[in-house]
Each structure stands twice: as structure tokens, then as C-alpha cells.
Chain A
Amino acid sequence: MTATVHGAPSASGRLASGRAASARPFYLEEEHAHAEGSSTYLGFWIYLMSDCLIFAALFAVYAVLGGNYAAGPAPADLFDLELVALNTTMLLLSSITYGFAMISMEKRKVAETQMWLGITGLFGLAFLAIELYEFAHLIHIGATPQRSAFLSAFFTLVGTHGLHVTFGIIWLVTLMVQVSKRGLVPANRRRLMCLSMFWHFLDVVWIGVFTFVYLMGMLR
């Protein structure tokens, strides 16, 4: 393990192609894993930022169209803030339980990690169930997406967030299966870390939704 080899500018480039031919396999392995892990998080973060732009566009649409009721129901006629408060609680609790899963993961406790992931998934499901109940109720009383521009924008924005949570739960279940099969190997830890960012990011978007759509809607 010499410092000169490590410092050579083309060392990492040669690594990827010529691992078998190398005389220093133990060293190359480590370097490879390091490079892969470090770029994943930045790349995933930039993906989240692009997702943020999608939500920005949907929030802008809601801001522009949110007042066009077409002589239909307004937010104050439709929204039940107690239900939204319950929903928000579920998502907030799922964020903290995912945090506990990350702490267990760093201690390499597989069973504990799985338990916290499971609880996170249940809170996520509770959030989705409440949201679907709300949507079903709105559609039942005739406040469908095609009723007015306000309702179209509302269902698109809140529905897109709900879709993100749905895919987050599918991803969570997939990772729980992966962890149960292979344990907390570096690849699985990296995946759990990416889902952690995704999950917390969804919570950040929900802050915008409950403030801008629900609370401000009731003030209109």
C-alpha cells in the first residue's frame, strides 16, 4: 500500500478496466467502492431537485387556477382540516421512524432496521388510506377533477404527491425484501440511504401542500 500509487492521477481510471491485471487488488476494491458510493448521493439529490421542479410547476398551476371555482364548491366547503392534521401527523411520524431505521442501520442491527422500516411503511399506508378516503368522499359529493379548474389543479397536485408516497412504499417493501435476503451489505445501505432522502423530501413537499392548499384554502 504505497502512497505514490494512491496519488497517481490515472489510478482510479485504470481500476475499473484492469482489475484482474492489477498487482494490488485489495487496494483497488476499496477505491472502487468509494467512488461509487460518493457519487450516488449527489446524483440522487439532483434527481430530487428535478422532482422539486415538477412540484413547483404544479404548485404554480394551483396558485393560478386555485381560485376558479366555476360556480362550484370552494376549499372552505370541501376540506376537513382535522383529517388533514391527522394525515400530516402520519407523514411526520413516518419520517421520524425512518430516521430510527437509519440509526439502526448504522449500528448494523438487521432486525431492528427491518422493524422500523415496517413501521414507516405502515404510517405511509395510513397516510395514503386517509388521502384516498378524502378523495373518495370528494368524488362522492360531486367535487370531481372535472368540476372546476380549482379541483383539477387540486387533484393533480395532491394526487402527484400521493403517487410519490405510493412508489416510496413499493420501494420500501422492495428494500425490506433485499435486506432480508442479503442483510445490510454496502449496496443495501446505499439504497436505504437514497430512500431516506426520498422519504424526507416527500415530507418537505407535504409542508407546502398542507400550508398552501389546505390552510390557505380555508382562509380564502
Chain B
Amino acid sequence: MSAELNSLHGANVHGHGAQAHGAHGHAHEDDHGAGHASFGGYMKGFILSVILTAIPFWLVMGGVIEDAQTTAIVIMAFAAVQIVVHMVYFLHMNLSSEGGWNMLSLTFTVIIVAITLAGSMWVMYHLNTNMMPVHDMRQLP
């Protein structure tokens, strides 16, 4: 009977290991969401994010790289990595949490966010360009 419980609750529905549920079969509730917290995980995430925050501030405040464009690209790359670090170590994201629905909704949101940001900037940049009074008015009919 215990084995059936495990197969129903542990492996199929939530993707947790059967061992965890075998040990304390009635305590499913704690194993959801942010339930995989550990001191080491939080410290690892914290140290990584301190480093990933300090470097961009140092690059900009110290004027380390001459070219502003290059600096911008580098600090955006650091931000992207830091967001992933926070997602993994603080928000405990992984492919199997909530049966994959977490990651699915995140993927959907990232796509929408990318369309919103890139689309707005692309459209408004071209709008600004074409609205500029660059035409030679004497050539108008």
C-alpha cells in the first residue's frame, strides 16, 4: 500500500523522489514551492549575486572600459546571468517544480516580455526616425 501511495504522489504527480515521500509520507505539503531551501544553496546564490552586482557597478563607476556600447552589453550580460542565479538559488526554479507548469508559465512570460521590450523599442525608434523633419520642404509638390 505504501508503494502505491508513493507511485501516485511521489513519482507521477510531483516528480519528487520516492524516497523523500517514503520517509515521511504524510508531509507532502512542505515539499512544494520553495520547499527545497538549504543554507548552502542560499549562501551560494548570495555570494554569486554579490559578485555579479559588484562587477557591473565597478565597470561603470570606475570607467574601466572606454567604449560605452561595450560596457552596456557587458553589464546587460551580467544582469541576465544574475537573474538566472536568483531564479535558481532563491526562487528554486527547476524543470520539475509544480510538474513543469512553473517553467512553462515562465517561458511564456519571457517570450511576452521579449516581444514587449523589443517590439516597443523597434517600433518607437522607427517612428521617431520617420517623424523627424528631415525632408527638404522645397521638393514637396
**Are B71 and A63 touching (Cβ within 8 A)?**
no
**Are B78 and A211 touching (Cβ within 8 A)?**
yes
CA distance A186 to B35 in the complex (A): 13
**Known contacts being A45-B105, A207-B86, is A103 close to B38, with CB within 8 Å?**
yes
**Are B112 and A96 touching (Cβ within 8 A)?**
no
Q: Which residues of chain A (61-96) have a CB below 8 Å from chain B?
A: 61, 63-64, 81-82, 84-85, 88, 92, 95-96
- Nearest CB of A to B128, in Å: 9
**Are A215 and B57 touching (Cβ within 8 A)?**
yes
**Are A59 and B37 touching (Cβ within 8 A)?**
no
CA distance A76 to B43 in the complex (A): 34
Q: Which residues of chain A (167-219) have a CB below 8 Å from chain B?
A: 186, 189-190, 193-194, 196-197, 200-201, 203-204, 207-208, 210-212, 215-216, 218-219
**Are A30 and B33 touching (Cβ within 8 A)?**
no
Question: Which residues of chain B have C-beta atoms less than 8 A from A61's C-beta?
Answer: 120
Most chain A CB within 10 A, of B33, B57, B79, B102, is at: B33
**Are B42 and A106 touching (Cβ within 8 A)?**
no
**Known contacts being A3-B4, A103-B39, A207-B86, is A30 close to B26, with CB within 8 Å?**
yes
- Nearest CB of A to B34, in Å: 5
CA distance A190 to B30 in the complex (A): 9
**Are B112 and A53 touching (Cβ within 8 A)?**
yes
Nearest-CB residue, chain A, relative to B14: A38
CA distance A211 to B78 in the complex (A): 9
**Are B121 and A64 touching (Cβ within 8 A)?**
yes
Question: Which residues of chain A have C-beta atoms less than 8 A from B132's C-beta?
Answer: none
Question: Which residues of chain B have C-beta atoms less than 8 A from A163's C-beta?
Answer: none
Interface: B72 (CB within 8 A): yes
Question: Which residues of chain B have C-beta atoms less than 8 A from A106's C-beta?
Answer: 30, 35, 37
**Known contacts being A7-B8, A81-B60, A218-B60, is A63 close to B32, with CB within 8 Å?**
no
Interface: A117 (CB within 8 A): no
**Are A103 and B105 touching (Cβ within 8 A)?**
no
Interface: A34 (CB within 8 A): yes
**Are B91 and A219 touching (Cβ within 8 A)?**
no
**Are B72 and A42 touching (Cβ within 8 A)?**
no
Which 4 interchain pairs have the tightest Cβ spacing? A41-B33, A99-B42, A60-B120, A211-B79
Please give 6 more A-B residue pairs, beta carbons under 8 A apart, in addition to A30-B26, A56-B112, A197-B33.
Answer: A3-B4, A45-B98, A49-B109, A59-B117, A63-B121, A212-B79
What are 13 pairs between A and B in contact, CB < 8 Å?
A42-B105, A45-B102, A53-B112, A63-B121, A95-B90, A103-B38, A186-B29, A189-B30, A190-B29, A207-B82, A215-B56, A219-B72, A220-B68
